[in-house]
Amino acid sequence: MASLNEVLEGKSICICAGSGGVGKTTTSAAIASGMAAQGLRVCVLTIDPAKRLADSLGLKELGNEARRVDPTLFEAQGVEMKGELWAMMLDAKATFDELIARQAPDEESRERVLNNRIYQQISSALAGSQEYMAMEKLFALHTEGEFDLLVLDTPPARNALDFLDAPKRLTQFIEGKSLRVFMKPTGLAAKVTGRGVSVALSVFKKIVGFDLLADLAEFFNAFSGMVDGFQARAKRVNKLLADRETCFLVVCGPQGEPIDEAVYFHRKLVEAKLPFGGVVVNKVHYPADELKGDIEDLPETLADKLGDPDLAKRVAANFADYQALAERDAHNIDHLASELRTSVVIRVPHLDEDVHDLAGLAQIDRYLFATAEERVEMAAGRA
Ligand SMILES: Nc1ncnc2c1ncn2[C@@H]1O[C@H](COP(=O)(O)OP(=O)(O)O)[C@@H](O)[C@H]1O
Ligand SMILES: [Mg+2]
């Protein structure tokens, strides 16, 4: 079985994708810190870190800029940090603003769009804009070339596939019919300047407090000059995602439904010709193989040790439940590996506590970056 190190060899982008709550943010942060510890300059682009994880990465505010995680914090955890870990939290709105600033032909049209009320609404509400902006920021960071490896966490989309379509959806919106209607001389903008309507509009203006139509017209006019630039850039973003230096990891849980979703997601990646690297199954229940045969005797053995037969019975029942879960997980993971026809199935156990600091990430890394032999030992519960 290939290890994560082999999968990431020579990659400059690693994208952790999967459904919500499975551990994408945790896995992204752990991969980034593990690769940085090995000597690379790594930046993790997180989307929605839990507050305590954000705090421990030094991500107190958005900012939309990468910050270096204090290296002495790793020393304090006994982790040797040979490289550099940087982290940033995606600010979709700020990324959109940066994109406008880049695409605008001049200062004036840039300001016109940025200050436009329609833009201000659209930039934060546009369907898929968070997904698209994650890709956009990734592309911008990649182009700047400051890092050896960029690790991208993906947004908690309702549907794990949303972000795959995001670039397309944004360009479709920009070049779409909705805009044409406004931009054509015979379009809505022209029609509504007719008399009766202008009365209605002035009433409307009173109600909403600003001249909606003027803002709309201005927005679409300023935006129309940028359509080509947007399209060209979206193409380059797509090209980067499909590049050999990019690698998609599917993160999932060990239960039936997450496994099915991972299978589906993998298929979509393959169809979209995006480079699939492997799958991380997080929060796995590991079996305690050496005890397996003795489950029947367990209550007695425990009663001796605990001196309380009732408690012993309950502990034994709990253990049997856990073993059943472990068997179910193992079965699901086998199924997943055969469906995906991949040898890269990396298991990470369900730790006793949430992962909210560098120590927690280091613990996840023990499993993520284990060699084949180490993994066999860990799976048997001996490590
Ligand atoms: N292996 C694990 N063991 C225990 N808790 C975990 C593990 N991985 C993630 N968690 C916890 O599960 C929750 C969800 O993880 P998160 O990475 O935020 O998921 P996602 O980004 O996919 O929504 C967090 O509270 C996190 O600390
Ligand atoms: Mg997340």
Ligand 1 atom with least separation from CA of 53 = 27
Query: With a 6 A CB cut-off, is 310 part of the ligand 1 pocket?
Result: no
Query: With a 6 A CB cut-off, is 187 part of the ligand 1 pocket?
Result: no
Ligand 1 pocket: which of 355, 358, 378 to mutate (most atoms within 8 A of CB): 355
* Centre of ligand 1 from the C-alpha of residue 303, in Å: 35
Q: What is the pLDDT of residue 383?
A: 47
| Domain positions in the chain | 4-166+241-289+341-381
Query: With a 6 A CB cut-off, is 24 part of the ligand 1 pocket?
Result: yes
17 strand-pairing partners: 250
* Centre of ligand 1 from the C-alpha of residue 10, in Å: 27
Q: What is the pLDDT of residue 155?
A: 76
74's CB contacts (< 8 A; 6+ apart) are 33, 37, 80, 81, 85, 358
Residue 139 tokens read as 């592309």
Please state, in angstroms and rounded to a whole number, the distance separating the CA atoms of residues 260 and 127.
26
Query: With a 6 A CB cut-off, is 21 part of the ligand 1 pocket?
Result: yes
Q: What is the pLDDT of residue 133?
A: 83
Using a 10 angstrom Cβ sphere, with 0-12 exposed, 13-18 middle and 19 or more buried, the burial of residue 195 is: exposed
Q: Residue 46 belongs to what H/E stretch?
A: strand 41-46
Please state, in angstroms and rounded to a whole number, the distance separating the CA atoms of residues 88 and 57.
9
Q: What is the pLDDT of residue 134?
A: 85
Query: With a 6 A CB cut-off, is 20 part of the ligand 1 pocket?
Result: yes
Query: With a 6 A CB cut-off, is 23 part of the ligand 1 pocket?
Result: yes
Please state, in angstroms and rounded to a whole number, the distance separating the CA atoms of residues 38 and 173.
43
Q: What is the pLDDT of residue 172?
A: 67
Q: What is the pLDDT of residues 12-65, one digit of tens each?
A: 999 999 888 899 999 999 999 999 999 999 999 998 888 888 888 888 766 688
Cα angle at 29 between 28 and 31, to 5 degrees?
65
φ and ψ of 251, to 5 deg: -105, 135
Beta-sheet strand order (sheet of 67-68): 67-68, 84-89, 41-46, 149-153, 13-17, 246-252, 276-284, 345-349
| Protein residue with its CA nearest to atom 9 in ligand 1 | 23
248 strand-pairing partners: 15, 276
16 strand-pairing partners: 153, 249
pLDDT in tens, the chain (383 residues): 678 999 999 999 999 998 888 999 999 999 999 999 999 999 999 988 888 888 888 887 666 889 999 999 998 888 899 999 999 988 888 888 898 888 888 898 889 888 888 788 777 666 566 777 888 899 999 999 999 999 999 876 655 566 666 666 666 666 655 555 555 555 555 555 555 556 555 665 666 555 677 777 777 777 777 777 877 888 898 899 999 999 999 999 999 888 998 999 899 899 989 999 999 999 999 877 655 556 667 777 777 888 888 888 888 888 888 889 999 999 999 999 999 988 899 999 999 899 999 999 999 999 999 987 887 777 666 44
Alpha carbon 323 to its chain's center? 31
198's CB contacts (< 8 A; 6+ apart) are 192
Alpha carbon 355 to its chain's center? 16
φ and ψ of 15, to 5 deg: -115, 120
Please state, in angstroms and rounded to a whole number, the distance separating the CA atoms of residues 254 and 97.
39
Query: With a 6 A CB cut-off, is 285 part of the ligand 1 pocket?
Result: no
Answer yes or no: are the C-beta atoms of 133 and 100 closer than 8 Å: no
* Secondary structure of residue 221 in the 3-state scheme: helix
Report the candidate in 96, 93, 90 with the shortest Cα–Cα distance to residue 25: 90
Please state, in angstroms and rounded to a whole number, the distance separating the CA atoms of residues 201 and 189.
12
* Centre of ligand 2 from the C-alpha of residue 303, in Å: 43
Q: Give 296's DSSP letter.
A: G
Q: Report how far apart, in Å, the C-alpha atoms of 293 and of each of 296, 305, 356 are.
A: 8, 19, 36
* Centre of ligand 1 from the C-alpha of residue 293, in Å: 32
Using a 10 angstrom Cβ sphere, with 0-12 exposed, 13-18 middle and 19 or more buried, the burial of residue 64 is: middle
Q: What is the pLDDT of residue 225?
A: 74
Question: What architecture is the 4-166+241-289+341-381 domain classified under in CATH?
Answer: 3-Layer(aba) Sandwich (3.40)
Q: Is the alpha carbon torsion for 156, 159, 163, 169 positive or negative?
A: negative
5's CB contacts (< 8 A; 6+ apart) are 38, 369
* Centre of ligand 2 from the C-alpha of residue 90, in Å: 12
* Centre of ligand 1 from the C-alpha of residue 46, in Å: 13
Ligand with minimal distance to 31 CA: 1
